[in-house]
Structures are given as C-alpha cells and as structure tokens.
Structure 1
Amino acid sequence: MGKGFYISKTVGIVGIVLAAGALATITALPVVYSQEKSKNNEVKSTDPTMAPSNEPWDQWRLPQTLSPKIYNITLWPRLQPDPTGLYIFTGLSSVVFRCVEKTNLILIHSNKLNMTKHPTLIGLGGKPAPTIESIVMHTKTQYMAIHLKEELTAGESYELYTEFLGELSDDLGGFYRSEYYENGIKKVVATTQMQATDARKAFPCFDEPAMKAVFHITLNHDPATVALSNGVIRIFARQEAINAGQGEYALSVTGPILKFFEKYYNVPYPLPKSDQIALPDFNAGAMENWGLITYRETALLYDEEISSNENKERIITVISHELAHQWFGNLVTVRWWNDLWLNEGFATYVEYLGADEAEPDWNIKDLIVLNDVHKVFAIDALASSHPLSSKEEEIQRPEQITEMFDTISYSKGASVLRMLSTFLTEKVFTQGLQTYLDHFKFNNTVYTDLWEHLQKAVDSSGTTLPKTVQEIMGRWILQMGFPVVTINTATGQITQEHFLLDPETEPDRPSEFNYEWFVPISWTKKEAVQSLHWLLQKTGDGDQWVLANINVTGYYRVNYDDENWQRLLNVLQTSRQSIPVINRAQIIDDAFNLAKAGIIETTLALRTTLFLASEMEYMPWESALDNLDYFYLMFDRTEVYGPMQTYVGNQVKNLFDYFTRLTNWEDVPPGHTDQYNQVNALTVACSTGLEACMTLVKTWFQQWMENPNVNPIKANLRSAVYCSAIAAGGEKEWNFAWEMFEKATVASEKDKLRAAMACATEPWLLNRYLKYTLDPEKIRKQDATSTIISIASNVVGQPLAWDFVRANWEYIFNQYGGGSFSFSNLINGVTNRFSTEFELQQLIQFRDDYAHIGFGSGTLAIQQSIERTTANIKWVEKNQKAVLEWFKNPS
C-alpha cells in the first residue's frame, strides 16, 4: 500500500470498481504483456460482549483445517438508494476449498454481511458433503461458523455457496461507495479497499494473507456504467480529469517503471494488463490490487499548470511503490501480518529506484534520507517503539494488524534494506532477490526466506561478511531502535549504544541481543573516502576531521569527541563542499537529536546551522528546518520565539535573495531539489516576517482575489503563498480560499487550499473549519483527520483541535472506523506541541476517559505521545534558558 496512510494479501489483491457513467480511459500505454437488508432466521448471532473461550470461533486466527483454492464471486452494487435511502449490494459466492484436517466446523470470515439464503455445501470428490447443522455469526471475531453434523474428510475438496447482502456505505472500507459531482450531476462509484481485514465486508472469505487463491469475479451493472476488475495499460479517473489530461503524466511513467522492475526482479510482469484508477474517496495513498491499482486522486493525477513539483514526485513514487508490489507482495506474499515490514519496507526502498529510472535527472534516490531515514529515527528512538518483525501471536486482532502499517514498517523497513543492499552491494542483493522471487512465486514466505537466498548470493560472490546475513540482520529486525555510534578521534575508540531520545526511559521490550548491532561503518578522513568497516578499533586520527556514515547508508546516528565536532563545524563554515550534501544534512540531524537525548549540548546542535547563511542546497536546509520545527513546537508560546524568529530570518535572507536573483520569483529553477529550496526560501522568509516576502505573497493573493479566473501564483509556490496570505489576512481571505476550494477540479489544488485554510490566525475561523471536518459534504472523510492535524500544527489552532478531538472522539472513532489508517497520525498530530505537566495530565486523562471506546490503530500512538510529552517537559526545563541566550547571541 502506498504511503500516505499507509498490501498485499490473499483477497486484498482483489480490486473492483464500478462507476455510474463516471469513468473514462485514455490511450493505452504502448506496453503489452502476454502474460435489500434481510435476516435469515436460521442464522444466529453471538453477543460481542461475551467472554472469549478456547473455541476456534473465539480465536483471531483461522484454524489450519481448510485451504481455499478457487472463488467464484458475483457482486451487484446498487448505485441508487433504496426507498429507505440505503445503498446496498447483493452477492453470490462459491469457494472451493480442500480439507487439510478432518473437522466438523467451517470457519469463514464475514463482517456486516446478511445471508439472504441458507448456505449450501457440496462435495467434489464423489461423496456427498456433510449436512449443515447450524450457522452462527460471531460478530466480534467476524466469523461465520458453519457447524456440520458429520466431519469433512481430509484430502477431499468441497464447495461452499452463499448468497448475501451488504451495505454499500461510505466508510472507505471493503466494498464501499464514493460520490462526487460533475457538471452539477451526482456521480456514484462502487469500489473496494480490502487491506488489511476488509475483504470479509465484501464477501465471505478466508481473509488471511497465507490463504491465497484464484478469483473469478462477475459484476452485474447497468450497461451505461463502466466495470473494472483485476484481470493495454490504462488510466481511469473522473471524466473531467481525463479530458483535462491529468492522467497523461502517470501514463508516461508507468511503462518505464514496469520495464525497470521486470529487469530488476528478472521476472516478467505476471499479468496481461495493469490498470490504474484515481478515486474521489480513498483513505490510503494507493492500493496495489493485482492488475487494478487504486489511488487517491492526488497520487495519480497531475496538471502541468496547477500541480507542483512535489505533486509530481508523489505521483511517480507512489506509482513505483505500487508497481513494485505487483511482484514483491502479490506474486510473493508474506505469510502473516507480523512480516508486513518486508512487504512495505521493500516497496518503499525500491520506489526510489523505479522513480529514478523514469526521472533520472532528479537524483531522487538521495531523498530517501530525508523522507524515510530521518523521519523514522524520531519514532524508533522512543522506548515505546517496536521491532520490525513481531511474533505472530502478538499481531492477531484487526486493529493490531492495522497498527503495523506505520512509519516503522515503511520507513525503517526501507532504511535497513537500503543498508543491507549497500554492504552486500546492489549486484549481490538483486541476485538473492531474484532467486527468492523465482522460488516462492505464487506462494507465501517469512522474512528469513529472503535472508537464505541473499546468503546464497553472498556465498557465490565471494563477499566477506563478519557474520551470516541472518545473524547480522536479525539484530536490526528483531529488536527495536538503533545505535548511536561514538567515534573518539583522539583514541581511535569506536563504541555503540542504544539511542533513546529520553535516556532515562527503559525500552518496552527486552532484547535477546542486549540492544547491540552489527554496524557497517563507512567513513572518511579529510576528503579521502575510506572502505567499509565493521565497528572495529581504529588508530588515533590526530588533527584530521573524521566523518562517518557516508551518504547515510547505515541506519544509525554518529557522535564524535568534542574536538572532532569543532573540526566539522569549522569545515562547514569554511569549505562545506568538502562534505557531501547528504552528510551536511546528516550532521545537522544527528547533532539536534543527540542534543535532545542529552548526549551533546543543545548549543552545539544550534551551531550546525550557522553555515546555512551561505548554503544554497536543499538537503541541509530541509534537515535544519525539520529540526528547528521542534524548537518552534516547544517555544512558540514562550519568550524564546522572538529571538529565534530573528535568527532564522537572518539565516534565510541570503537564500531568499539568491532565488530573487535567479528566478525573480517568476521562473522555475531547473533542478528538482532547487525547486524545493525555492519553496523553502519563500516559506521561511515569510514566516519570519521578511518584508519583501510578505509584499510578494500579499500582492499575488490580492491579484487572484480581484480576478478569480486567473491565478497568478506559480504552481510550486502556491502552498507557501496561500498559507502566508491567509495567515496575514482575515475572514475575507479565508472565505475566498474556501470558495476556490469548492470550485477546484484538480485534487492537488484542493489539497493545497485545504491545508492553507488551517493557517488562519482567527480562532473563530479555525473553530468553524474544525466543524466542517465532521460534514462529508464539506470535507471528505478521507481528508478529515489530515485537516484536523493541519489546524493543530498552527499554534493558534492546536488547543482548539485538541479540545475538538476530545469532545468528539466517540463520533470520530465510530464514523471514521477503528481500522482507519489515520488515527495514529491524528493522535500524534494534535499532541505534538505538548510540553507542560498540565498537557501531560490532559493526555493521560484522555487515554483513561475513552478507554471504553478505544483508539483502534491509534492505541500505540497514545503511549508514544505520553512518552514524547514526558521527554519534552524534561528537555524544555533543561534547555530553555540556554536556547534563549544562544538565539540572542548566536555564535
């Protein structure tokens, strides 16, 4: 599944889309591959509050007695409401399964489906099937339990036939309804999202990833509608979007990426076609249904005049991520959700490789450091983090499965696989990967199967490692966290220690490896790059500066003795080009986080930003801004804020002037990351009150308000301009933005305006906006939680958003589903600024008050927020005075 909110599984690979006159196709890519509610009195229902027993229907995992082979499914969604206003679908399903062990019980997943006819069972081996004695629906564990009078025979095959009815609701899960308006006419789309445990809402099924089967799907639909299923490459979307050419960019890059992965995996694309469709309502970023990939509109549609460079990058990386899954995840599938990290981490890593193939001038592979490595460090440094791979028994319930779709699985998974590929070499890595895919195609695996194939590749290549692949990687996979490697250049000693943002906390989990890792260290003295080493003793380095973890290929932080820190600071000030751009970003990120953990002084970390006054590269600036954002979160309600604004404004002035000379704010810089840095220059200059910047954005926004049909603001700059102008304005500017939001037909433009309206500084405007998030006619359900988070990121809006979430938690939880991928983001987002004892007690009270309702996929986020707030309180108490003095007199 694409990042965004953050698939691959047996029935999760099934994708179905049916639209009422709403879809159109554009030219096929020149790549061809050969290859009504009712109740059945005979069906009983269990009380979900009943105490669980040891019976199989009270367990979260299916027994291994039955193995599905073939499904034949017919679905008929009604795209018009019935007389009661309800949208429904009906269906027929027959599943052929083999009995592995004799049993008198058929357990099959079914959630929110009403059986409209008594299920029937027939034998396919010449003998009649046992008679069905009773059927019981277990709503808590989401099973239909079919009790038989006699036992099924091991080795025999049977066919179970069911007829059912379900609601085609707008809850964004299972078989659901999406609506939008085109030329004033309401359009209805029936579509699917079955990751991770929602296929059971569409039809009865054995809904576990190891229960792979062949699916034959029939859709009943009106001839005026378009029906799509998994099995010519085509792009589908709203007719208006297709007519505007918004699918052309996605179409142009899909072919090159598919060809790249065929070569990378050394396996031909396994299906005859690959359709991609943009949906108006979609909770995740995308879903890699085999042969029919579904996307949010912002992850697939691009408008040359309106969409930004960032939008373009998101489209190509999400497409690459989903296409990577067609092999790694669909062709070969992990056995259970505890190994989700391998599926999603791998796709996250190689999405950069596929995107680089389609856009080779972007140097996009470097951005994994900012987008994934640095991002996940912040989570994995908490004592409440978790290992990449858990025990199967720890991941059972649907909400536990959903929690696995987090930053650890995606970004840490990608980071450690990138590290593995680097120290093995890409040649050895891909060789092992190719034999793994060939050996396990159309089957299921556990992550150690990949280690075995990589080890074979290592052995055949003659590569020397200090331990086996499994021994090295076991420490990165089976224990949470990562090390900080400390290099003492005076003595040559190198040590490692488990890095925790709050060193006084204890990890939630014990580790059989005692939180020690086999660490591959690449390092340089002066400007000569040295070879790879494995955490060994080194000789003293005298007065030479040393820099470790070149290009941040290793998943660890680096600390040095004071003298080497000073030497690195001097190099940054006098000859920063001696240090690779990625490592200039790394030095900043490591220093700030080492300071947060109390390992080095906070003023030392702040000194790593001094060289930015002359830095014009994107990665160091972005790293600095990401880390200074923590200072804004902690201090934008204190006396530190003024001096900090002055310092940051002084540092960014040269960057702002540089782009003024280079582009005069009318032209687009030629480089991919230069375009990002132009946005940074404008954003920071305006946020710190630089007069020239404020004049620009106010003038542009006023010109647009005077002539709404002609937007003078360049696509890349719109997010920054909209936010700054709305923050500086009032009700008139906000209402204009809302009007433009409602009229916008390009999804990325709607997203920019939606986020910018959260920048308002009038509390009543923000409170009104918060209420809009509970009205799907104003803010789509897929966007509700991210809108609340945007408001919470505003210092004025944060307490309003926190009050709003607490007051409406039961409604939000029930309406947006306990399995929503965005709950952890919501909880983290509204508590990010917490740094006082009062806020900590409020957070604890929130956890206790709503325990009876639950937090779904946000359960772990609650604990992480409490831990983070506790650490923030300690950090602010310790550092506020020194930080204030430094910003007053930076040196």
Structure 2
Amino acid sequence: MGKGYYISKHLATAAMVLATIALVTIIALSVVYNREKSKNTAKFSNATTSPVFPTPKTSNEPWDKYRLPDTLSPQYNMTLWPRLVKNANEMYIFTGISRVMFTCVKKTDLILSHSNKKTKKKHSYFNKKTSNLKCNAGNSVNVNLRLFTLNYTTETQYLVIQLEGKLKPGKDYWLYTEFTGKLADDLEGFYRSEYMEDGGKSEKIIAITQMQATYARKAFPCFDEPGMKAVFHIPLIHDLGTTALSNSQEIKNVIIDGMAITRTIFGPIKRTSTNLIAFVVSDFTYINAKDKKGVRIWARKRAIEDGQGDYALNITQPILEVNSYPPVFLDQIALPDFNSGAMENWGLVTYRETALLYDPRTSANGNKQRIVTVVSHELAHMWFRNLVTVKWWNDLGLNEGFASYVEYLGADYAEPTWNMKDQIILYDLQRAFAVDSLSSSHPLSRKEEEVNTPSEMSEMFNTISYSKGAAVLKMLSEFLTEPVFSKGLSVRFTNYLKQFAFGSSVHLDLWLHLQKVGVKLLYSVHKIMKRWILQMGFPVVTIDTRTGNVSQKHFLLETEAVVDRKSEFNYEWFVPIKWMKKGQVQDQLWLLQKSAIHKPMKVSKNEWVLANLHVLGYFRVNYDLGNWDRLLSQLESNHQVIPVVNRTQILDDAFNLARASIINITLALRTTKYLLHEQEYIPWEAALHDLNYFFQLFDRSEVYGAMQAYLKKQVKPLSEYFGTISSNWTTVPSGHTDQFTQIIALSIVCSTGVEGCRELTSSWLKKWMQNPPNNEIHPNLRSTVYCMFQKATVAAEAVKLRSALACTKVPWLLNRYLEYIMNPEKICKQDATSTIGYIASNIIGQPLAWDFVRANWDYIFKLYGTGSFTFSRLISDLKRFQKDNAETGFGSGTQIKWLEEKKEAILQWFLSESA
C-alpha cells in the first residue's frame, strides 16, 4: 500500500509549522479527552451478541481467537452485483453469491470464515435439498455432517458453522452463501464513490474496493488473513454503459437477456490474499500505447481527455523494467475518493487522483515527483507483497519497507536527472528517526501475539513499517552491496522470490537466502539484522577523534523517558560505519559492542572525521567538540567538500542531539550559518524542518522576531540567485530539485518580510482573481501565492487551494473552513484529516482546530475514523505518543523545561548572528 496520506513533501510555506505536527498535537488532545469514553464505546460495540458462542476474555474457543485455525484451505468462486442506483429503501446495495471450495487439511467439525455483520446473509447453507455439506465427489456426505448450528461473533467477526461430524483431511468441500451488503461511502471494503462530471452538471456513481487490511470480509465471506492465499474467480454483473475491472483480464462480456445489465467474466485471479482483491465498476475510460504491452491508465473521462494520465503511462514502463516485472496486463486507475495513497492490488492498482494524474498546466513539479514515487512504490509490491506475502501483519515492515526503499530506485531509473536516491534521507530516514526516537516506538517486526485485532493490524501501517523499513533495508543493501542484495532476491537465481512465489514468508527466510549468496561478514545476516528489526529505536554513535574511541547508545529525544519494552540485545546494534577523513573516503568499520577503540579515527587537530558517509546507516552521529568545530569550519569555508546528503545529516543530527540535551543548542544553531552558501534543496529542506520546531515554540515570544531576522539574512543570497535566474520569479529553473529550492526561497522571502515580495505575489494573486482561467502563476509557486478554494477539475490544484485557505489570520474564516469538513460535498472524506492539519498549522488556527475536534469528536470518528486509513494511522501513532508522555501532558512539561533552560541562549545567539 502507498504511504497513505501524502502531505506535500515540499514546503509550501517555509515558515509554516508542518501540518502533520499540528494535527498530531490536536488529535492527541482529543484522544485524552475521549480516552475513557472510547474505551467504554469499544467494549460495548465489541461485545458479542451470541448466546451460543460467548466471547469472555478467558475463553479458549476457536471462534474467540483472532487467528483462523489451520484446518482448511480455500478457493473462491463468486459473483458480485453492485447497484449504482438507489433501491426502494433509498439505499445503494450490492448482492453476491459465493461458492467457496476448501480442502480439509486437518480433521475438524468447525468452519470459521470472516464476515462483517454489515453484510446481511440471505442464506447460508450447504445444499438446498439436504442441508448437508457437499463433498468433492458430488455426493452428500454422511448425514452426521449436517449443520449443527450457525452463528456470528461480533468481536472476532466470524461466521461460525458447527457440524455434527468431522470433515476428512484431503477431501474438498463446497460452502454456498448468498448475501446482501450496503454499498456505503465509507471508503472501505466494497464501497461507492460519487463525483461530478460535465463541469459539475451530472453526478456519477462508481463502485470500488479497498480490502486492506481487514475489509474483504465486508465484501464477501472469506478467510481474511494474508497468509491464507487462494485462487479467485469473480464475475461481476453491472449496468450497460459501465465497465467492470478486476485483478485479471476480461475473458468474456455477456449481456443478460431482457435486462439492461451485463456479466463480465475474468480469468482466474492468481493465488493471492483476500486483501489484494480488487474490482471497479465505472464509466471511466483509459489510455494505453502499443509499446506499453498491457499497461492501461484509467480515470474520469474529462481527466483522460485532458491528458492527465499521460505522464503515469510514460513512466510506468521504465519502472517495470527496473523491477524486472513483465506483466501480461496492468490496469492503474485514478479514483476520485480513495482513502489510501494507493493500493497495489495485483493487476488493478488503485490510486488517489493526485497520485496518478498530472496536468502540466496546473500541476507542480512536486505533483509529478509524487506520481513517479507512488507508482514505483506500488509496482515494487508486485514482488514483495503480491508474489511473496508476509504470513502475518507483525512482519508488515518487510513488505512496506521494501517498497518504500525500492520506490526511489524505480523513480531514479524513470527520471535519472532528479537525484531521487538522495531524497530518501528527507522523507524516510529522518521521518523514521522522529518516531523511533520516542520511548513509545516499537520494533520493526513485532511478535505475532502483539498484533491480533483489526485495529492493531491497521496500526502496523505506520512510519516504522514504511520509513524505518526503507532505511534499514537500504542499510542492508549497502553493506551487502547492491549486486549481492539483488542476487539474493532474484527469481533468476532460484532464491527468495522464486522459493516463496505465490506463498508467504517471515523475515528470517529473507536473511537466510541473502546469506546463501556467499556474502562475507563478521556475523551472519540474520544475527546482524535481528538487532535492527526486533528491538525498537536506533543508536547515536559518538566518535572521540582525540582517542579514537567509538561508542553507541540508544537515542531518545527525552533522556529521562522510561522505555517499557525490554530488549534481549540490551539496545546494542551491529553498526556499519562508512566514513571519511578530511575529504578522503576510508575503509568501512563495524561497531559491534557498546564501545571500542578504532585507532584510524584518532586524528590530528587539522583533520576532521565525518561518519555515516552518504547516510547509508540508520543511526545518528555525535563527535567531540573539536571535531564539530572543524566540520563546521569546513562547511563555512568550502561546504561542497562534504556530500550534499551529509550536509543534510549534520543539520538534522545536530538539532536532534540538542533537543535531547546531548550537545549545546548553540552548536546546533551554528550548523545553519553555512546556509549563506547553500543552494541545494535537501539541506535547506532539512534546516527549515528543524527550525520550524523553534518557530512553533517561540511564536509568541521575543525570540520569534530575532529568528525571523536571522533567517531573512541567511536566505538573502539564495533569493538573489533565484530572483536573477528566474527573471524576477516569473520562470522556473530547469533543474528538478532547483525548482523545489526556488519555492523555499520565495516562501522564506515572503514570510520574513523581504522588501518587494508581498507586493509581487499580491499582484500575481490579483490578476488570478480577476481572470482565474488565465492563471499566470506557475504551478510550483501557487501554494505560496494563494494565501481560495473553488471547484477545481485537477485534484492537485485542489490540494494547493485547500492548503492556502488555511493561511488566513481571520478566526471566523478559519471556523467556517472547519465547518466545511462536516460537509463531504465541500471537503471530500479522503481530505478531512489533512484539512484539519492545514488549519492547525496556522498559529491562529491551532486552538480553533482543537475546539472543533473536541466538539465534533463523535461525528468525526464515526465518519472518518473507521474508514480512514490516514486517521487510523495517525491515531495509532498518537496512542503511543500519549502513553510515552502521559505524565507531562504530551510533552508540554518537557518543552516548558527545555524552554526555560535554553530560551535566553537561543535569543542571544539569534540577536548576535542577525546583526
């Protein structure tokens, strides 16, 4: 699955506190406010209603456990019929007929299959005439196999079928059910989406799916676990004039006599998990190209006619090539109301419109980058997720981490001039650090027994699984070397992917196969990697260049925090250290214990050491003060001697070491002085991310003005550079990341009050308001210049406008905007949480957003909490954050203490440096 919510990876307004941070703060308070209430609600809603199958906490019955027994192996044959018009009860529904064949693996008298209570069973029986279970020979089994009783468990979501006799191992049986479900607009399972076409004149209804993690059971009764793979046959009945798509190719389309409906038959869906099943019924159209083999891009007719699918079509083929994935066919479809960023369903990959559609007239460069990375992420899943699946959700980081790492390789191959491989530092490594440095973090791979309920499964779709998974697998690939890593995975070498094709595996299987390639290491891959994935957190490596001593310690932002997760490895890691000395690359070293002497790292006073070269390892680095001084002097005299990603690392490591009280805060601030000479995007983005923490803390104190003055001084050379090469900001640079740096420069220039900036942007905005169709503002700069939300035909443009609406400082306008969230006709469900975040990022909007969430918690949670991937993912992080900071009020006590200790030093530093 894609990374869920893609709040822009590039700062729209440099001085703005990140929307995600503010949203975390606001909803965290909501969690406290509703903690007891939610507990009681959960207990009530999860209570079993069955007198036959109670679910007491002490029960050991199979139907009271969240894991299916390993007694049956299924195959599915079903027909589904979504109704895209309301029935007599003013409801949208779908109906289905299911004939599941399963093989008995172990003797049993019990059949458990997942089923959601919202799907009503019209019938559930074995054989109409005899009510017996039907056997593979076509004859009814002995009469003692008659249905004994049938029930449903609310908590574990099972259809429970108890038999009088035993099923026999090796025999095949059929279970027949008919069912009716509501085609709701809740963004999960089999649901409907509504959108406007023909310039807003006609409303369209489409039926679409999102089965991950546990929503397949809402569409049909099934064995809804990732390891329970099966072959599927799913014909779809739908209205004439609509098209049905599924995971496999269409074989036949039959018009049913006397009815305005058709039946589309597809080839069998290859052995896969229930949560990868997908189907769409719509009036969409598509584009393809003869040299793209079976690749098609589907979207709304208007979007396809406007060429918005062309870019995705063009970059899909090179991404498939670098992944060595040769599809017989591949449909990719842009959906107007889709909660995840994207979903990697085999043969039918589903996307948000902003993740697949690009209009060069209105889409920014960042929109294009998002498309290439999301497409690359989903296509990487064809191997790690679809072909080979984790046995259980506790190992999700293996799949999502792999896709999150490989997405940069695919994007780099498709767009080789963009330097995409470097951006993993910003958008995965440092993102993972932020979460994994809290005492509430969790290991990349958890114990199976820690992940049971659907909510616990959803919580696994978080920053640790995606971003830490990417960072750790990148580190593994680097110390093995990329050729060895690729060979260990490759189907061509009869290794991991081939052995487990169409099956499932655990993380140990991967380490063993990589070891077989013949890599020479001090320890086995398994012994090295289990320390990185089975214990939470990461180390800070401290190098004393006076002695050569190198040590490691578990890095925590709050040094007094108590970690309640024990580690069999005592929070020690086997750390690969690539490094350079005064610009010269040195041989890699390994730190294998808490502390060790590495004599080569003892240097003279005129030399400096830089560790974690090219930021290939998942750890932070600290030095003795003398080495810090020499590094910073090198940055100010000739920063290009140090690789661009390491300049980014120095900034981010220093600020976070200061937040953890490991180094002095003024030392961290000194790392920003060299920015006078910096023109690269990644260091500037990292610096602004870290400085935003200070803007948030000091926005209402005397420090704020001094900070603004300092930043205004530091950005001046950058603004002069871009003002010159862009003809007074009217054009954009040709370089991909230069365009992002230009956005940063303009936004800082405006936010810090540089003369002429507001006048320039105001004139652009005035022209646009007078004649919106003739928008002369370049798409890259619109998020900065807009500070109006009207109907937009391009999803990416709507995102800019939604963000810009939150810029106002007028409270009643922000309150009115918040009220729009309650109306899906104004703010789509998929955009609700990010819109709250945009408003919360505004200093004026923070208390308003908090009051709004608190006052409307029940409605928001009911509407968005259960069906929103973004909401559940945020809540899972907040629950851990809440637990970690309960005694200090979500970190407020720590922040206050930190402010009292550091405020005067910070103020004096900014005053002296801005003079």
Which TM class, normalised by the smaller chain length?
0.7 to 0.9
Q: How many residues align?
A: 800
Q: Which of 645, 648, 655 is matched with 2:718 structurally?
A: 655
**How far has the Cα of 1:604 moved from its partner?**
0.5
Partner of 2:780: 716
Q: Please name the residue that 1:689 is paired with.
A: 753
CA displacement at 1:60 relative to structure 2? 1.1
- How far 1:716 moved relative to its partner? 0.8
Q: Aligned residue for 2:91?
A: 86
1:343 paired to 2:391: no
Secondary structure of 1:221's aligned partner: strand
Give the letter aligned to residue 515 of structure 1: Y
Q: In the alignment, residue 93 of structure 1 is paired with which amino acid?
A: S
Native 8 Å contact 2:186 2:867 kept in 1: no
Change (3 A) 1:339 1:819: farther
Higher relative contact order (CA 8 A, sep 6+): 2
Question: In the alignment, what sits opposite 2:879?
Answer: 859
State the distance in 1 between where 2:302 and 2:476 align: 45
From the superposition, tell whether residues 289 and 692 of structure 1 become closer, same or farther in structure 2 (CA, over 3 Å).
same
Residue 873 to residue 56, structure 1, CA distance change in 2 (3 Å): farther
1:709-742 CA distances to partner (integer Å, 9 max, x unpaired)?
Answer: 21111011111111xxx2xxxxxxxxxx12xx32
SS in structure 2 opposite 1:502? coil
Equivalent position to 2:69, from 48, 63, 71: 63
**Structure 2: stretches of 5+ with no match in the other structure:** 7-47, 127-132, 249-293
What is the root-mean-square deviation in Å for CA atoms of aligned residues? 1.7
Given candidates 894, 903, 913, the residue that maps to 1:880 is 903
Match of 2:56 among 51, 55, 61: 51
Query: 1:834 maps to what in 2?
Result: none
Q: Which amino acid aligns with 1:128?
A: S
Q: Is the 8 A contact 1:166 1:202 kept in 2?
A: yes
Shift of 1:86: 1.0
Q: What is aligned with 1:784?
A: 832
Looking at structure 2, the residues matched to 50 and 56 of structure 1 have their Cα atoms a distance apart, in angstroms, of 10
State yes or no: 1:142 paired with 2:157. yes
2:502 is matched with which residue: 415, 427, 442?
Answer: 442
CA contact (8 A) 1:48 1:139 kept: no
Tell me the equivalent position of 2:33.
Answer: none
Deviation at 1:119, TM superposition (A): 2.4
**Partner in structure 2 of residue 38 of structure 1:** none
Residue 583 (structure 1) aligns with: 646
CA distance in 2, matches of 1:673, 1:278: 26
Q: Tell me the alpha carbon deviations over residues 23-73 of structure 1, each in whole angstroms, 9 at most, x when there is no partner.
A: xxxxxxxxxxxxxxxxxxxx98569996342211111111111111x2112
The alpha-carbon deviation at position 860 of structure 1 amounts to 2.9
Q: Within 1, Cα distance between the matches of 2:572 and 2:3? A: 30
**Residue 870 and residue 219 in structure 1: after superposition, are their counterparts in 2 closer, same or farther (change >3 A)?**
farther
Partner of 1:343: helix, strand, or coil?
A: helix
Counting only pairs closer than 5 Å after superposition, residues 604-683 of structure 1 correspond to structure 2 as: 604-664=667-727, 665-683=729-747
Q: Which residue of 1 aligns with 2:212?
A: 195
- Cα distance in 2 for partners of 1:45, 1:240 equals 50
CA–CA separation in structure 2 for the residues paired with 1:364 and 1:618: 12
Q: Aligned-pair distance for 1:684?
A: 1.2
1:427-826 paired onto structure 2 within 5 Å: 427-434=483-490, 435-457=495-517, 459=518, 463-535=519-591, 537-539=597-599, 540-543=602-605, 544-664=607-727, 665-722=729-786, 726=787, 737-738=788-789, 741-742=790-791, 744-818=792-866, 820-823=868-871
Q: Find the partner of 2:452 among 391, 396, 405.
A: 396
Which of residues 122, 136, 140 in structure 2 aligns to 1:124?
A: 136
Q: Secondary structure at the match of 1:495?
A: strand
Amino acid at match of 1:254: T
Q: How does 1:141-540 map to 2 (within 5 A)?
A: 141-183=156-198, 184-231=201-248, 232-262=294-324, 268-269=325-326, 271-434=327-490, 435-457=495-517, 459=518, 463-535=519-591, 537-539=597-599, 540=602
CA distance, structure 2, for counterparts of residue 481 and residue 755 of structure 1 = 33
- Residue 2 of structure 1 aligns with an amino acid whose one-letter code is G
2:538–2:555 contact (8 Å) kept in structure 1: yes
How far, CA to CA, are the matches of 1:45 and 1:122 in structure 2?
A: 27
Cα distance in structure 2, aligned partners of 1:878 and 1:824: 36
In 1, are the aligned partners of 2:458 and 2:872 still within 8 Å (CA)?
Answer: no
Contact 1:759–1:794, Cα closer than 8 Å, also in 2 = yes
TM-score by length of 2: 0.86
Q: Distance in 1 between matches of 2:625 and 2:119?
A: 65
Partner amino acid for 1:216?
A: H
Whole-Å separation in 1 of the counterparts to 2:882 and 2:77: 42
Q: Please say if residues 486 and 495 of structure 1, whose CA atoms lie closer than 8 Å, have aligned partners that are also in contact.
A: yes
Task: Tell me the residue number matched to 2:21.
Answer: none
Q: Aligned equivalents of 2:871 and 2:882: distance in 1?
A: 10
Deviation at residue 125 of structure 1 after TM alignment: 4.2
Q: Equivalents in 1 of 2:583, 2:525: separation in Å?
A: 31
SS of residue paired to 2:94: strand
Q: Distance in 1 between matches of 2:749 and 2:432?
A: 28
> TM-score normalized by structure 1?
0.88
Amino acid at match of 1:228: L
Paired amino acid for 1:224: G
C-alpha separation between the residues in 2 aligned to 1:656 and 1:413? Answer: 37
The equivalent of 2:35 in structure 1 is: none
| Change over 3 Å in CA distance of 1:48–1:174 after alignment to 2 | farther
Whether the 8 Å CA contact 1:824–1:859 is kept in 2: the answer is no
Distance 1:482 1:498 in 2: 6
Contact 1:454 1:469 in 2 (8 A): yes
| Counterparts of 1:760 and 1:48, CA distance in 2 | 56
SS of residue matched to 1:150: strand
Whole-Å separation in 2 of the counterparts to 1:577 and 1:149: 77
Aligned amino acid, residue 90 of structure 1? T
Q: Which range is displaced more, 302-311 or 802-811?
A: 802-811
Shift of 1:300: 0.1
> Do the aligned residues in 2 keep the contact of 1:57 with 1:145 (CA within 8 Å)?
yes
Q: Is the 8 A contact 1:115 1:165 kept in 2?
A: yes
| Kept in 1: contact 2:440–2:881 (CA 8 A) | no
The CA distance in 2 between the partners of 1:165 and 1:233, in whole Å, is 34
Q: Contact 1:669–1:675 (CA<8 Å) still a contact in 2?
A: yes
Once the 2 structures are TM-superposed, how far is the Cα of residue 876 of structure 1 from its aligned partner?
2.0
Offset, 1:4: 2.9
SS in 1 for 2:750: helix
Change in CA separation of 1:857 and 1:207 when aligned onto 2, cut-off 3 Å: farther
Q: Shift of the alpha carbon at 1:865?
A: 6.3
- Find the counterpart in structure 2 of residue 889 from structure 1: 912
Provide the residue aligned with 2:267 in structure 1.
Answer: none
Bigger shift: residues 695-704 or 395-404: 695-704
Displacement, 1:114? 0.6
Q: Which residue of 1 aligns with 2:271?
A: none
- Which amino acid in structure 1 is aligned with residue 598 of structure 2? K
> Shift of the alpha carbon at 1:791?
0.7
1:108 to 109, 113, 119: 113
Check the 8 A contact 1:502/1:597 in 2, yes or no: yes
Give the whole-Å Cα distance in 2 for the aligned partners of 1:626 and 1:824.
25
Structure 1 pair 572/636, CA: closer, same or farther in 2 (3 Å)?
same
Cα 1:672–1:88 change in 2 (3 A) is same
Q: Quick one: which amino acid aligns to residue 868 of structure 2?
A: S
**2:438 counterpart SS class:** coil
Unpaired runs of 5+ residues, structure 1, are: 7-42, 263-267, 727-736, 828-855
Task: Tell me which amino acid in the other structure corresponds to 2:4.
Answer: G
Give 3-state SS (helix, strand or coil) of 1:497's partner.
strand
CA displacement at 1:870 relative to structure 2: 4.4
Q: CA deviation at 1:774?
A: 1.3
Cα pair distance change 1:612/1:596, threshold 3 Å? same
Cα pair distance change 1:48/1:594, threshold 3 Å: farther
